[in-house]
Structure 1
Amino acid sequence: MLINKPSDIKSSEITPESVYRQRRLFMKSVAAGVAMLASPSLLAIPDYSKPNDRHYPGPDWLQQMIRQGSDERVFATDEPMTPYEDVIGHNNFYEFGIGKRDPLEHAQDFRTDPWKVEISGEVNKPGHYTLEDILKPHTLEERIYRLRCVEAWSMVIPWIGFSLGDLLKRFEPTGNARYVEFVTLHDPEQMPGQRTSFSTIKWPYVEGLRMDEAMHPLTIMAVGVYGDALPPQNGAPLRLVVPWKYGFKSIKSIVAIRFHEQMPDTSWNLAAPNEYGFYANVNPQVDHPRWSQATERRLPSPFFNPNRIDTQLFNGYAEEVASLYQGMDLRQWF
């Protein structure tokens, strides 16, 4: 069960890295203590410390935004966070290879600055927007989400981002906009996975949401993780996070957002429609054709001692999102 508690403590500008991180840890501890007095079920805010050998600060202006966010809200769960090494080292990002560590190995030189996003379709304000255009009107908020993926491994990740709905409203969708389509960068020169014989997916990678799903407060556009900008292997500089759906819905390195009246075709649904539905809501009662989805492996999960847990409907967010699917057969609309 996800428990949402906005912190009353505001972030402030702090320049030295060591001082900055120590103060944030202190602030989160205080916030957690205050929240626990009001709600015994809310656990302490996790430690944001991480190894120093890999550091992804991103552009100076973005790192400054992350440090100076003035409306920081922490969404806590009753589960420990996934170790930083697993978050940055165990990914699905087929543009950089099909192995879980391929993105870490092959994405380190990926160029994410400058970056533009094309807005088109059923909107009054289409155009090409820079990353600065998209981010600067927003206050970045740190949130902790449970993100479980179709491969039966899952993580608890401290994302940094903002409401996707707040972003979409800025482009003034028309009354005909019922779906939102997202497109990943197609650049075989930088993305070796797009040059291989692995052809199940037709590039570029495409995903989509129904408009009410996209506007839900739990749907965020993430630009950072663990106090830094997103690493390239995690979808820099801009990725979707939809925590009640399987991981392939949370598309990475977005370069286009398109508004449609009709449901858009999506990459995995086109590649294997009997295995990957458009909705992809986490559901332990609907098995993948080749494996059960009743349980999942939570990282870290050693090979000889796997950390296997029961899968929760809507990934534990049923109270927040089940109303979006009232009257729908979740076995048919999987």
Structure 2
Amino acid sequence: MTYNALIDHSIDSIGTKIESYNGDNNTNHKKCDYIEILALLNNDELYNDDLLSRFFSEYSDRDNSPEEEQSEISDKHERELIDLFEILKYRQELYGEDYPFEIIDNMIKLKENLSHKQKLYIIFLCCANLTTFEKNLQFQLTDEFEHITYCAISQHLPNTFTVKKLGSNSDYTGNTRKKLKDLGRDINLNINNEQIDNIPLSANKEKGVDLIAWYNFTDHIPNTLIFLIQCACGQDTYHKIYEPKRYSTYFNFNKMNPIIALATPKSIVIKPNKIENESEVFMGDTLYFDRLRLMELIVDLECLNNINAFSLADRLISETTSVLD
């Protein structure tokens, strides 16, 4: 199935996908994403009052509650939506001109004539909410998020660094054993052949790391600066941070362990100096790149010219329809 056909299929079913959303048990940044998705799909201004019954099952069922509880239920969820709009307003401040939505008081709407960078924000929004789309398109978005992260890291690091892909579109060929040994030779690391040879011959992908970056000094001593980067779009994002640590069994790093980084399309900053679920994000020694940081790192958009997800963003923008009927 072509990419455009995948988009068509997802667009046809997206209404059903968002109808099944329940905001009761989600994180605040996930709830804010959902509001943005509704604003993206809606053909008009969206107010917090429009969202109450769609957002909270308890609010929808309040008429079945005792009369004295109905007002309490309404007040509770109205306050929560006010808080969510405060987070959205902070997003608008953080992302500045790159933010594709306009928020005034308790209203949000999609801006007109979006820039390439604003469309990139929508791609991140889609990647962070994969279940909104059909399964095959989810796989495509995951692969493209890896490439976007590759572009961001490549632009962030000095050009004296080497950045390689190890994920779905690896820069290395062969099975996993060969890929790891070739990588070790490129970085001039001491290779633990015994551990690598325990990997099944049939394996052709190493799940622990999606991107790797390193600086090769001219002295060829393997004591160098290395980044192991895991890209994660799904619900189990933060648990993936443990996966790169298996590389310490494949290679003997000289005196200094690699810097482990996690790249996610989520927007996890919810207020000044506050990351939601901070203890979960920073499990161990972790450098994180979320939606905001990746957007900041990408200055030259030419490296994204072949990203198919821009077609998805364009379709979502052009085919707006009322989602509140």
Which TM-score tier does this pair reach, normalised by the shorter chain?
under 0.3
Kindly indicate whether structure 1 or structure 2 has the higher relative contact order, using CA contacts under 8 Å at least 6 residues apart.
2
* TM-score normalised by L of structure 2: 0.26
* TM-score normalised by L of structure 1: 0.26
Q: Which has more strand, going by share of residues?
A: 1
Tell me which structure has the larger Cα radius of gyration: 2
